[in-house]
Amino acid sequence: MANHGKVRKMNVKVKVYDMNKWRNEAEKVSEVEYNNIQGFEVVTGDKATEIGNKTDGSSRDDFNEYLVITLADGQKATFRNSRVDVFKI
């Protein structure tokens, strides 16, 4: 079946943790659902460093990785990747 230029949208759930999610002590502090997003990516390297430089020191990711979700309207939601899990729903 042809797509005919339509962008496929998806829904995701983001689980947010109070610290690095790989630590045994980490606890989920919230869940957020985003509907009809355009997509998401995990950003690393120089692009991640740019994101980190735009935050205050307490918002930098421990591993310099960021989850960037492109919302339906084109805006972006950015999370520290070491503190979230994302699931397609």
- Long-range pairs for 39-47 at CB < 8 Å and ≥24 separation? 39/10, 39/69, 39/70, 40/12, 40/67, 40/68, 40/69, 40/70, 40/86, 41/67, 41/68, 42/66, 42/67, 42/68, 42/81, 43/67, 43/68
Label residue 86 exposed, middle or buried (CB < 10 Å: 0-12, 13-18, 19+). Answer: middle
Task: Give per-residue pLDDT as tens, 28-48.
Answer: 999 999 999 999 999 999 999
Task: Give per-residue pLDDT as tens, 19-28.
Answer: 999 999 999 9
Q: pTM of the prediction? A: 0.86
Task: Give per-residue pLDDT as tens, 57-66.
Answer: 888 999 999 9
